[in-house]
Structure 1
Amino acid sequence: MRKTGFIIAFLAPTLLAFCMFYLYPIITVFITSFCKWDYTNIANPEFFSFEHLWDNYDYIFNKYPFFWEALRNSTVWAILGAAVQVPVAMLIALAFSRKMKGIKFVRNVYIIPNMISTAAMGIIFLQLYNPSYGIINPIIRLFKTDFNDSVLLLKGPAFIAMTCAYIFFTGTTTLMILGNIMAVPEEVREAAMLDGASGLRQDWHITIPMIKGTLRTVSIMAATSGFLLYNEVYFLTKGAAGTYSVSYVIRELAITSPRTQFGRANSVAVIQILAGMVIILVINLVYSVSLKKKR
């Protein structure tokens, strides 16, 4: 009983903080997604009658013009996060794990840009894409001499530009993978070398299988981060040229809209939460299946 009491006392602050700052808001979001809650009753959300219970969701799915575009974009960014960002981070981490002169300096230089906030990076990329003095348009003009448009206003190129503004910034992911690579026992590598395994074969057959747990974690983080993409959308395009994200839709409904449609915004938030759960389940399933095949 004393041990149990100690465990409960030890966990109580964390559980209390979780309930106050995570569980309660999530429950509130879910409940108010079935309420009429806008500028007419900001202080008093009202439940719809039973026959109108799904009105907010009906509006989002069938009447709001940008929801399906935003859901498609956020899904693509989530997939790119897991399928592109994580492999890039893993390759960089494997390179950084090599013992060679100057590698520590290179690691520090690589991490510096990733210390800048996403808001600041959005502003930086906004200048890079500026058609008047940015560096992107002169590069494009090498292949298309009469190009004077902003890539952020062209449907298709705007999506690619948005993706490039975040997908290759893998500092945190790289550090997490690198830390796990460094934890691989040196004896295992030495045994592989005695068996004639080269560096690349060691990476493929030893290092990568031994860090699967970390790869699963960072894949979930990268995918959910891509699905929740907001700052880049806000600072670069504000949803123009087919670049809406689910997070930006929530902002537009709850803040930008003159009606402050909190109930409808929260219905989108519920969809976002459910999508995040699906992402976690899918990635766990993919890694579980891959591990079974290895065995």
Structure 2
Amino acid sequence: MEKQHTYKKKSKISMRKTGFIIAFLLPTLLAFCVFYLYPILTVFVTSFCKWDYTNITSPEFFGFSKLWENYEYLFNKYPYFWEALRNSVIWAILGAVVQIPIAALIALALSRKVKGIKFVRNVYIIPNMISTAAMGVIFLQLYNPSYGIVNPIIRLFNKGFNDNILLLKGPAFLAMTASYIFFTGTTTLMILGNIMAVPREIKEAAMLDGAGGLKQDWFITIPMIKETLRTVSILAATSGFLLYNEVYFLTKGAAGTYSISYVIRELAITSPRTQFGRANAVATIQILAGMVIIVIINLLYRISFKKKAGQEREGA
């Protein structure tokens, strides 16, 4: 009887804990369903519908015979889709391959205990507090051929240059990439916070073994912050893939600078026929591409750190 009573008591406690967890998570789950899951499902479903200026309030399902109508239009008829997809993929790769190493190096430098480092951290962070929209406007002025700073620099090497680089295919892509790729304030802070959390005892032990600053960074700090590096790599790659503000404020898609995000705006807002169904087809592709990016980066990090761990074991 005593055992049965104890079992019932434990069961009640367990049920209370479960009820508390459900009650605690319920508002978040409801908010997720209302503000994220429902819009995502709506985007997916309406990507298979005729939905434009003729039926704004009532999307019409194409039927299974014409299920891929919107996607066929994008892949075969829309003139900027493949250009936008290519550009977005390149920006995603640059986000992970260029932006993250820059942020990691800056974070490692800012983690050093030297005189004046707190002041340097604040000075570095201030420009990164500016919104991407405002940054786009600033770079628009920098690239202005009449009074911007970029053209005079180019004229040092090419005296007759008077063009607007934002209207030149190739240079425009590079100019727009430069307007976002080097601004890594949030990413740097995330990495820096994780670096500061690395136990000092481990670094002190490494110093006693003769490991200098660079060796400590490579063999201790970086492996210990690998999960943060993985996270910020995903964030940087997806941000690059979703690039919009810079495209809108600098070029509006001119000179080969369309992005997937800008295509959605063009189809759904600026098009006189407001092609919501086609825009949602692009959005569906965007969502699926984001999932692929997450899977690829997770896989690459897993392979990379497994290989490094194997090399360290062999060395030992």
- TM normalised by structure 1 equals 1.00
- Indicate the residue corresponding to 1:139 in structure 2: 153
Do residues 79 (structure 1) and 93 (structure 2) align?
yes
- Indicate the residue corresponding to 2:313 in structure 1: none
Distance 1:279 1:35 in 2: 27
- Indicate the residue corresponding to 1:94 in structure 2: 108
Do residues 257 (structure 1) and 266 (structure 2) align?
no
- Indicate the residue corresponding to 1:184 in structure 2: 198
Distance 1:78 1:54 in 2: 27
- Once the two structures are TM-superposed, the CA of residue 294 in structure 1 deviates from its matched residue by 2.2
- Indicate the residue corresponding to 1:56 in structure 2: 70
- Once the two structures are TM-superposed, the CA of residue 211 in structure 1 deviates from its matched residue by 0.4
- Once the two structures are TM-superposed, the CA of residue 292 in structure 1 deviates from its matched residue by 1.3
Larger Cα Rg: Structure 1 or Structure 2? 2
| Higher mean displacement: 119-128 or 46-55 | 46-55
Task: State which of 224, 231, 244 in structure 2 corresponds to 1:210.
Answer: 224
Do residues 121 (structure 1) and 158 (structure 2) align?
no
Task: State which of 35, 53, 56 in structure 2 corresponds to 1:39.
Answer: 53
In the alignment, structure 1 segments of 5+ residues that lack a partner are none
Distance 1:137 1:293 in 2: 46
Where do 1:101-250 residues align within 5 Å? 101-250=115-264
- Indicate the residue corresponding to 2:11 in structure 1: none
AA matched with 2:301:
Y
AA matched with 2:28:
T
Distance 1:283 1:163 in 2: 21
SS where residue 52 of structure 2 aligns? coil
Aligned length: 295
Distance 2:104 2:285 in 1: 31
AA matched with 1:74:
S
- Once the two structures are TM-superposed, the CA of residue 148 in structure 1 deviates from its matched residue by 0.2
Distance 1:282 1:81 in 2: 14
SS where residue 166 of structure 1 aligns? helix
Question: What is the CA deviation profile of residues 25-67 of structure 1, one whole-angstrom value per residue up to 9, with x for unaligned ones?
Answer: 0000000000000000000000002211110000000000000
- Indicate the residue corresponding to 1:27 in structure 2: 41
SS where residue 205 of structure 2 aligns? helix
Do residues 9 (structure 1) and 23 (structure 2) align?
yes
SS where residue 197 of structure 1 aligns? coil
Distance 2:198 2:209 in 1: 18
Distance 1:291 1:4 in 2: 37
CA RMSD of the aligned region, Å? Answer: 0.4
- Once the two structures are TM-superposed, the CA of residue 164 in structure 1 deviates from its matched residue by 0.2
Distance 1:291 1:162 in 2: 33
- Once the two structures are TM-superposed, the CA of residue 290 in structure 1 deviates from its matched residue by 1.1
Distance 1:248 1:80 in 2: 18
Distance 2:300 2:269 in 1: 38
Question: What is the CA deviation profile of residues 158-178 of structure 1, one whole-angstrom value per residue up to 9, with x for unaligned ones?
Answer: 000000000000000000000
Distance 1:291 1:86 in 2: 16
AA matched with 1:145:
K
Distance 1:117 1:242 in 2: 24
Distance 1:17 1:42 in 2: 26
- Once the two structures are TM-superposed, the CA of residue 114 in structure 1 deviates from its matched residue by 0.6
Question: What is the CA deviation profile of residues 173-225 of structure 1, one whole-angstrom value per residue up to 9, with x for unaligned ones?
Answer: 00000000000000000000000011011101110011000000000000000
Question: What is the CA deviation profile of residues 102-127 of structure 1, one whole-angstrom value per residue up to 9, with x for unaligned ones?
Answer: 00000001000110000000000000
SS where residue 165 of structure 1 aligns? helix
AA matched with 1:121:
M
| Higher mean displacement: 144-153 or 48-57 | 48-57
Distance 2:295 2:64 in 1: 32
Distance 1:50 1:178 in 2: 52
In the alignment, structure 2 segments of 5+ residues that lack a partner are 1-14, 310-316
Distance 1:193 1:184 in 2: 14
Question: What is the CA deviation profile of residues 258-286 of structure 1, one whole-angstrom value per residue up to 9, with x for unaligned ones?
Answer: 00000000000000000000000000000
- Once the two structures are TM-superposed, the CA of residue 93 in structure 1 deviates from its matched residue by 0.2
